[in-house]
Amino acid sequence: MTRNVLRKVKRKHNLWKKWKESNTEIAYLKYKRQANKASKAVRLAKKEFERQIAKNIKKDSKSFFAYARSKSLS
């Protein structure tokens, strides 16, 4: 994951803690908004990672098959 994605996920965790402590509607809405942003960022990062693996399959087939194997075993 990129730094930007990790930052969004960390912010989501921090907002979760704040919401659980205060238990207010505003804190919940902030958390939900950030959770949606983090989910989207993770999804896009995963898509980009898979696109890069597929793009480099001719040069580096080992990483492609390692990734495919990890997805099929789980």
> Which pLDDT score, from 0 to 100, does residue 74 have?
59
In sequence order, the 6+-apart residues with CB closer than 8 A to the CB of 49 are none
**Residue 25: half-sphere exposure toward Cβ, Cα within 13 Å:** 0
The rounded distance, in Å, linking the Cα atoms of 43 and 45 is 6
- Which domain covers residue 41, as residue numbers? 3-73
Provide the domain count of the chain. 1
In the prediction, which pLDDT does 1 show?
Answer: 81
Predicted local confidence at residue 73, as pLDDT: 78
Which residues, at least 6 apart from 19, have a Cβ–Cβ distance to it below 8 Å?
27, 28, 30, 31
CA distance 55 to 64: 10
Q: Encode the chain (74 residues) as per-residue pLDDT tens digits.
A: 899 999 999 999 999 999 999 999 999 999 999 999 999 999 999 999 999 999 999 999 999 999 999 999 75
